Amino acid sequence: MNSQFRHQLFAVLGFVLATSSANGMASDISFNRDIRPILSANCFSCHGPDKKARKAKLRLDTREGALWDLGGYRALEPGMPDESELILRIESDDPEEVMPPSDSGHQLTEKDRQVLGQWVKAGGKYETHWSFKQPVKNPLPKTRKKDWPLQPLDHFILSKLESNGMTPSPDLDRNRWIRRVSLDLTGLPPTLEEADAFAADKGGNAHEKVVGRLLDSIAYGEHWARMWLDLARFADTKGYEKDRHRDVWRYRDWVIDAFNRDMPFDQFTIEQLAGDLLPKPTTEQMLATAFHRNTMENDEGGTDNEEFRVAAVKDRVDTTVQVWMGLTMGCAKCHSHKYDPISIEDYYGVYAVFNQTEDADRVVPIMPTPTPEQSGKLKEMESEVSTLKKRLQAKPEGFVAALAEWKDQFEKEPLWQPLRLLEMKSKKKVTLSQSKDGTLSVNAENPDKDTWLLILEIPKGKPLNSIRIDAFPKKAGGKWPDKNVALRELTAEWMKDGELPIELSLKNPRADFSQRGWEVAKAIDGKPKAGWAFSPKASDAHAAVFDFVKPVSGGRLRLTLEQEYGQGLLFETFSLSASSHPTKWLTPELDPMRGMDRLFEKIEFPAARELQAKLNSANQRLSRLRNGISKTPIMRELPPDRHRKNRIHKRGNFLDQGDEVEPGVPELFGKLPIGAKGDRLGVARWLMQPENSLTARVMVNRVWARLFGKGFVETEEDFGSQGLMPSHPELLDWLAIDYRENGWSLKKLLKAIALSRTYRQSSSITPKSLAADPRNHLIGRGPRFRLSAEVVRDQSLTASGLLTRKIGGPSVMPPQPPGVWKSTYSGEKWKTATGPDRYRRALYTYLKRTSPHPAMITFDAGSGEVCQIRRIRTNTPLQALITLNDEAYMEASGALANLMQKSSDNLAQKITFGFRRVLTRPPKPEELKRLIVLYHQLKPEFSNQADFLSSARLDEGDPSLVALASVLLNLDETLMKP
Amino acid sequence: MNLPVNLQNTQAITRRHFFGQAGLGFGSIALQQLLASNGYAAQGKGYRIPAKAKSIIYLHMAGSPSQIDLFENKPALTKFHGKDCPEEYLKGKRFAFIKGTPKMLGPVFDYKQHGQSDQWVSELLPGLSSVIDEVCMIRSVHTEQFNHSPAQLLLHTGNSLLGYPSMGSWVTYGLGSENENLPGFVVLASGGKTPSAGKSLWGSGFLPTLYQGVQCRTDGGDPILYLSDPKGLGRKARRKTLDAIKDLNEYQHKHIGDPETLTRISQYELAFRMQMSVPEVMDLSKEPDHILKLYGAKPGHVSEAESAADPRRLYKGNDPTFANNCLLARRLVENGVRFVQLYDWGWDHHGSSPGESIDETLPIKCQQIDRAIAGLITDLKQRGLFEQTLIVWGGEFGRTPMMQNNVNSTLKKGFYGRDHHPHAFTMWMAGAGTKPGAYGQTDDIGYYIAENPVGIRDMQATILHQIGLNPHRFSFPYQGLDNRLIGPSEEGKVIKGILS
């Protein structure tokens, strides 16, 4: 431990001791502040809300419970500590008697005991847990310093500082402020032009102009979407063993767009939780429901889909309650909550709401979710197709007459003429009879398999171009139980009297329908393995047409029908016919003459033919566009008759089910809104009701935490009794109500914070301020903490001018060390982008759950496996190795060095230029001097200058400047918010 | 990354976590925790207990080896060999791949008794047999999960779903590292693939990412990602840049006064030292020949299987990758690394495709690990490290006494296979106060446990106990619960019967 660290430690202790003793005053004991934390930490696990775990039938989380008659005595005798069993037991010297028991791992301090005694003496009053009470918007507190506050929120901060004998920090200089606010609102540093314009703007609304510009920029939505994507457990793969790709980037883009449009938080909530249940949902509203399809799926062989479906539904319950209410219901899936009044019945009530969707550990249901650009094109093309169709329908001039004339010929010579059967041979002695219209029927015998030789008369006249087989449905209860037919091979021969049969080759096989794997072409491929068959449409009629390679006339036709598959897959009733018309007219339609009008239009009548060709090509382009549209997994409610019955899972085990439960919401937080059903839409509306004491507070707290490094409630994930108390409860409430009253506008909330005096404070720390408030609880300093993984990357890309500004689209693969992806049984590969996608914002980097980009996770980004309420910030040597050595940062150093090189001929100016591109402010003279010294030191020290340039992806340049640029990207100030 | 950090600025360590329960003599607790140079502010009073082990080497055979063919000599099963599996073993059971009524499959290889403890070990493991009197065989382990990914997660993180800290993270969170210049939790993988559950197996879950396992790579590239300086820079120029960073950061600290800046300076210096210390410890060429021979290690060897799309077809018995990792494990614990996790992939012997059979692949896999493991035990002993190093060996579940029948219903050479079996399997521990001999028993055919069942929670409780952490007290508050490796229930117990 270094001395600084130790110094700091004592400072912390001093602070805590001071505040604790202040809280120890008997006069103002607050149950929520002083008593509940002691009881919750030490007593509730055995004497709390969980009935099953409760010992000695004693419950201490409610006053009623504490006042229960325990057989002539009570745990709490208000006003009489000496009569209260609670006090007697905690004060007891008897190891058998003392509470908490020594083997429980809990232990009270002397001060705890004192405070509890004082509380009982003062009457032992209980209070509802603070966050379960409605927020109240109190008037702004009075402050001594009048000219400091700029925004209402400043009054709260200042008043608290003043009451603790502290003063706020001075304002930041303009360069640092614009860097801070740009990074906070957009995740990108300001350009030098923006910074200089702001510095020169002497108008009273200079700050407001900057904030307005930032909130209107598209980068704003990208940056704040990332915050939400952590909660949505967004990732590009499904998770678990195979961890395959999942196409869900359209949801990410939906979130970006929603933030940029400042979609009110209630609408944002309802669309994501229940967009599919809205009346006539739009594609965008359906897309929003992918929020809850980000749950993991397990594709591992042999897994039970139901097990992982249930796990996904539970994840949705946990995530919903975590994200909107800051509560953890997770433990209530096995037993009633030990600390907060949430029962196992409450849990499965909410579970029942979410357990009615179609998805089941598989990709489906999905739906096409075009981008706005694709939508536009889609509309355009669809209208082109429909115009062409209309024009075709309207029939070009002369069409009707021409058609009638054309069709006349079929009166004289029908399209198809039945072939007369002259003779047949069958291995199994099957015989066929032919009716007048030419239909052939099997007379007797029903062998499993057979081959037939049919000799047919070729009608006189024009040469025959094609033959056709019509298969009619087999009769129910007929000769063969299986209604399918398998014509494995069909061969044709030409016979003339006295000559040997000559084989006739067939081509262009076509059928109205073929079984998968038994396509009609396989009937003439010379291989008996497969042929033409009909399953699963075996009970319908079918037709196939084959053309002769060389037309035939005169003589006889011998057809061999090989039907040797077995299981009785033979023709029962069928007909054979031939045609001498052009083959382009001969389709395998069941009714051959139907569609001849269309055919004439399509291929015979020139004016129509042209339109048709245009239509075909338009249709092709349309279907290509449609295929290119991402299909996103969405939520879809089961129809009422398929709703699942819901039961409690005992100890959380889905195979061990208990009592049935009805869909509902936890008792403690009121009822579903009037008129709402017990479905996801009902729950979404319930979350957004003013009666729900948590939603607005949780969201405001979260936004505050992103800007100030920690929330008023530091345990963002736990607003329950195990969580920490808010540092500024009145301000949290004020902001929460204000947020709701402002139509749930995040931009308005952010604007109020960004323009506050509180946010404008310098983050410099003096030994005095460090001693007074080491962790900046009272916010008497500006926030100073490390930038997120994404911002560290995006900042270096921006400073070096490499950043590709493209919004949305499929996730991309910037450089990553080789061999990082080695997942089991997955053939998917990391294909490093070489074009502009190499330099996209980190938000777009492909996220594989079981193998996230190493530079991202090392900087504390998540894997997207489960909902991540806040990221835990660390400071490690691995981070240093990344910003020093990673290809991405080397490239940025190279590009930045090039910009510096071009900026001036003077070294000091070059360095100043680079310094400002990274940190906005100019270097202090000492800093500049040190960097100039470095520049001159470096040249002789490189092991190989050319190699070094190439590791920065440069062919030429100044290696010393590149190394210097890398130093700029590695400064503490660079990695921290100013 | 499990290296010293400034806790003050590790934001997750909220005041409550930081000081233990506020108000409870927090001053002294915080002091103790912070002044102990290696220990962090783990939650839960009294979580530290006297330790038997200083380090853990965990050898995980990913895919799960067949206990029936390695440790469970079952004459009764041999008698049933080739007969239908009795209905009682199938009723109400879920299998990954077995369908209908499978045939019983007796042990495929010969067994002999070894050592003074007369333990049955298959002919496939002559090396292990030679050191069997050092080993505590646990023949009665069972799990709740029968698919790889969830079973591996349950074993290493205490939860079958993703998102929980792994055992190594817990241990380094509780105890820190003994060497400032090396990560405290190192992962080494062989067999050509990472295990099914991927890097989540060494993720830190809700603990700070500082505690996630650091994978050291042995494929010829950087042993730790991004460890090497950019090409052409050179150590001297690197030093100059770091000196400048240090000076500028110190200047920054003088003006802004944020202690985090000092931490940053020290982390950059540590990174510089790691660039030397990590390659050094990972360099096996410094080991004398007789030690290399003892393990069967070959410095610098990069196996073809390590980068193959399907490495299973390329497995060779003399592949030294696993042996190299065992030797590295010794070097790492020797240098104070707390938790060394080895994963060897390729033990999922279903017999349904080439490269995954009991009769052909298992002997190859055994050859790859057997000499190395015996070498590791012998080497740790001769260095006096065995008594302070806990070795754990096993898969994520066992394999069925029946043959798997979804592809072949009769036995075919190269296709002998067994399905996943969660109900009974063998793991072993050695060193650090574990008692050599056998613990637990299964029934005549090795299907169910007959005596002394050991759950996954018990294994975890015992491992934590040996390293000096009370498994019941050692926790981290997250999502309203004091989370523990052994889960929220009280089912996990230290296995007293295997401790000396």
**What is the token pair recorded at A489?**
């091979």
Q: Are residues B230 and A875, on separate chains, in Cβ contact within 8 Å?
A: no
Query: Is A946 at the interface with chain B, CB within 8 A?
Result: yes
Residues 6+ apart with CB under 8 A from A249: A236, A630, A808, A809, A810, A811
A676/A270 Cα distance (integer angstroms): 13
Are residues B148 and B140 in contact, defined by beta-carbon separation less than 8 angstroms? no
Are residues B127 and B371 in contact, defined by beta-carbon separation less than 8 angstroms? yes
B5 pLDDT higher than 60: no
Higher-confidence position of B15 and A611:
A611
Q: How far is CA B345 from the centre of its chain?
A: 12
Q: Are residues A775 and B233, on separate chains, in Cβ contact within 8 Å?
A: no
- In order of B66, B68, B93, B400, the CA distances from B100 in angstroms are 21, 21, 11, 14
What value does the mean pLDDT take over residues B134-152? 92
Q: Are residues B14 and A715, on separate chains, in Cβ contact within 8 Å?
A: yes
A978/A782 Cα distance (integer angstroms): 8
From A228's Cα to the closest Cα of chain B, the distance in A is: 18
Question: For chain A, give me the number of helices (H) and strands (E)?
Answer: 35, 18
Residue B109, domain member (yes or no): yes
Residue B2, domain member (yes or no): no
Measured between CB atoms, which of A9, A334, A970 is closest to B245?
A970
Q: Helices A218-231 and A174-186: crossing angle, nearest 10°?
A: 60
**Chain B residues closer than 8 Å to A37 by CB:** 22
Query: Is B271 at the interface with chain A, CB within 8 A?
Result: yes
Q: Are residues B257 and A770, on separate chains, in Cβ contact within 8 Å?
A: yes
Q: Are residues B251 and A827, on separate chains, in Cβ contact within 8 Å?
A: no
Residue A620, domain member (yes or no): no
Tell if the pTM clears 0.90, that is, is over it. Answer: no
- CATH number of the domain within which A490 lies: 2.60.120
**Chain A residues closer than 8 Å to B229 by CB:** 884-885
**Chain A residues closer than 8 Å to B238 by CB:** 884
Q: What is the pLDDT of residues A782-808, one digit of tens each?
A: 999 999 999 999 999 999 999 999 999
Summary mean pLDDT of chain B? 85
**Chain B residues closer than 8 Å to A29 by CB:** none
> At which of A552, A570, A592 does a domain end?
A592
**Chain A residues closer than 8 Å to B488 by CB:** 331, 334
What value does the mean pLDDT take over residues A558-580? 93
Q: Are residues B193 and A823, on separate chains, in Cβ contact within 8 Å?
A: yes
pLDDT value of position A833: 94
pLDDT value of position B31: 25
What value does the mean pLDDT take over residues A157-162? 97
Q: Are residues A875 and B5, on separate chains, in Cβ contact within 8 Å?
A: yes
pLDDT value of position B438: 94
- In order of A811, A838, A887, the CA distances from A831 in angstroms are 12, 11, 15
Highest mean pLDDT among B41-50, B272-281, B329-338: B329-338
Measured between CB atoms, which of A16, A931, A947 is closest to B231?
A947
pLDDT value of position A551: 92
Q: Are residues A715 and B214, on separate chains, in Cβ contact within 8 Å?
A: no
- CATH number of the domain within which B386 lies: 3.40.720.10
B386 pLDDT higher than 60: yes
Top residue of B233, B473, B474 to mutate, by most chain A CBs within 10 Å, is B233
Residue B170, domain member (yes or no): yes
A277/A951 Cα distance (integer angstroms): 54
Q: Where are the alpha helices (DSSP H) in A147-291?
A: 152-163, 174-186, 192-200, 206-216, 218-231, 249-260, 265-274, 283-288
B351 pLDDT higher than 80: yes
Q: What are phi and psi of A180, to 5 degrees?
A: -60, -50
Q: How far is CA B386 from the centre of its chain?
A: 17
B21 pLDDT higher than 50: no
pLDDT value of position B13: 35
Residue A826 — very low, low, confident or very high, per pLDDT cuts 50/70/90?
low
Q: If you write DSSP's letter for every residue of A669-703 in order, what string do you get? A: G--PPTT--SSHHHHHHHHHSTT-SSHHHHHHHHH
From A728's Cα to the closest Cα of chain B, the distance in A is: 16
Pairing of strands B398-399, A542-552: unpaired
Top residue of A310, A314, A876 to mutate, by most chain B CBs within 10 Å, is A876
State the total domains in chain A: 3
pLDDT value of position A107: 80
A379/A459 Cα distance (integer angstroms): 53
> At which of A553, A577, A592 does a domain end?
A592
pLDDT value of position B35: 27
Query: Is A62 at the interface with chain B, CB within 8 A?
Result: no
List the 294-353 stretch of B: residues with Cβ below 8 A of A. 307, 309, 345
Highest mean pLDDT among A73-77, A306-310, A505-509, A669-673: A505-509
pLDDT value of position A952: 97
pLDDT value of position A977: 95
Q: If you write DSSP's letter for every residue of A27-63 in order, what string do you get? A: GG--IIIIIHHHHHHHTHHHHSS-TTT--TT---SSH
Residue B477 — very low, low, confident or very high, per pLDDT cuts 50/70/90?
confident
A809/A805 Cα distance (integer angstroms): 12
Quick one: closest CA in A to B200, which residue?
A: A850
A541/B234 Cα distance (integer angstroms): 79
Interface confidence (ipTM) of the complex: 0.79
B421/B402 Cα distance (integer angstroms): 10
Residue B311 — very low, low, confident or very high, per pLDDT cuts 50/70/90?
confident
Expressed as residue numbers, the domain containing B453 is: 7-227+286-498
- Asked which of A52-61, A497-506, A839-848, B63-72 is least confident by mean pLDDT, the reply is A52-61
- Give the gyration radius of chain A's Cα atoms: 39
**Chain A residues closer than 8 Å to B223 by CB:** none
Nearest to A106 by CA among B451, B105, B43: B43
Residue B128, domain member (yes or no): yes
- H/E element holding A884? helix A877-885
Q: What are phi and psi of B354, to 5 degrees?
A: -60, 145
B95/B105 Cα distance (integer angstroms): 16
List the 401-460 stretch of A: residues with Cβ below 8 A of B. none
A903 pLDDT higher than 60: yes
Burial class (CB in 10 A: 0-12, 13-18, 19+), A89: middle
Query: Is B264 at the interface with chain A, CB within 8 A?
Result: yes
Residue B278, domain member (yes or no): no
Top residue of B3, B98, B180, B209 to mutate, by most chain A CBs within 10 Å, is B209
Nearest to B341 by CA among B134, B160, B118, B155: B155
A19 pLDDT higher than 50: no
Residue B24 — very low, low, confident or very high, per pLDDT cuts 50/70/90?
very low
Q: Are residues B257 and A302, on separate chains, in Cβ contact within 8 Å?
A: no
B455/B494 Cα distance (integer angstroms): 10
pLDDT value of position A40: 84
Higher-confidence position of A342 and B3:
A342
Bridge partners of residue A441, in order along the sequence? A433, A573
- In order of A103, A241, B246, B323, the CA distances from B307 in angstroms are 52, 19, 40, 18
pLDDT value of position A23: 39
What value does the mean pLDDT take over residues A315-325? 94
List the 183-212 stretch of B: residues with Cβ below 8 A of A. 189, 192-200, 203, 206-210, 212
What value does the mean pLDDT take over residues B51-66? 96
List the 747-766 stretch of A: residues with Cβ below 8 A of B. 763-766
State the total domains in chain B: 1
**SS3 annotation, A262-284:** CCCHHHHHHHHHHHHHCCCCCHH
Q: What are phi and psi of A376, to 5 degrees?
A: -60, -50
Q: Are residues B258 and A765, on separate chains, in Cβ contact within 8 Å?
A: yes
Expressed as residue numbers, the domain containing A958 is: 885-975
* Omega before A100 within 30 of 0, i.e. cis: yes
Q: What is the pLDDT of residues A654-704, one digit of tens each?
A: 888 899 999 999 878 878 998 899 999 999 999 999 889 999 999 999 999
Measured between CB atoms, which of B96, B236, B481 is closest to A302?
B96
Residue B453, domain member (yes or no): yes
Q: Are residues B267 and A875, on separate chains, in Cβ contact within 8 Å?
A: yes
> At which of A553, A574, A592 does a domain end?
A592
Are residues A509 and A520 in contact, defined by beta-carbon separation less than 8 angstroms? yes
Q: What is the pLDDT of residues A201-224, one digit of tens each?
A: 999 999 999 999 999 999 999 999
Nearest to B70 by CA among B112, B114, B124, B15: B124
Measured between CB atoms, which of B94, B193, B252 is closest to A972?
B252
Residue A544, domain member (yes or no): yes
Query: Is B222 at the interface with chain A, CB within 8 A?
Result: yes
**What is the token pair recorded at A296?**
């993991």
Which phi-psi region, left, alpha or beta, contains residue A71 (left: φ > 0; alpha: ψ -120 to 50)? Answer: left
Are residues A289 and A647 in contact, defined by beta-carbon separation less than 8 angstroms? no
Q: Where are the alpha helices (DSSP H) in B131-214?
A: 148-157, 167-175
**What is the token pair recorded at A798?**
């921006």
Top residue of A784, A884, A891 to mutate, by most chain B CBs within 10 Å, is A884
Are residues A47 and B53 in contact, defined by beta-carbon separation less than 8 angstroms? no
Residues 6+ apart with CB under 8 A from A316: A292, A295, A354
Measured between CB atoms, which of B162, B208, B477 is closest to A239?
B162
What value does the mean pLDDT take over residues A257-275? 98
Measured between CB atoms, which of B11, B193, B207 is closest to A822?
B193
Other residues' Cβ atoms within 10 Å of the Cβ of residue A831: 9
Tracing tokens 């897994």 back to the chain, one arrives at A303
Residue A901, domain member (yes or no): yes
**Chain B residues closer than 8 Å to A827 by CB:** 309
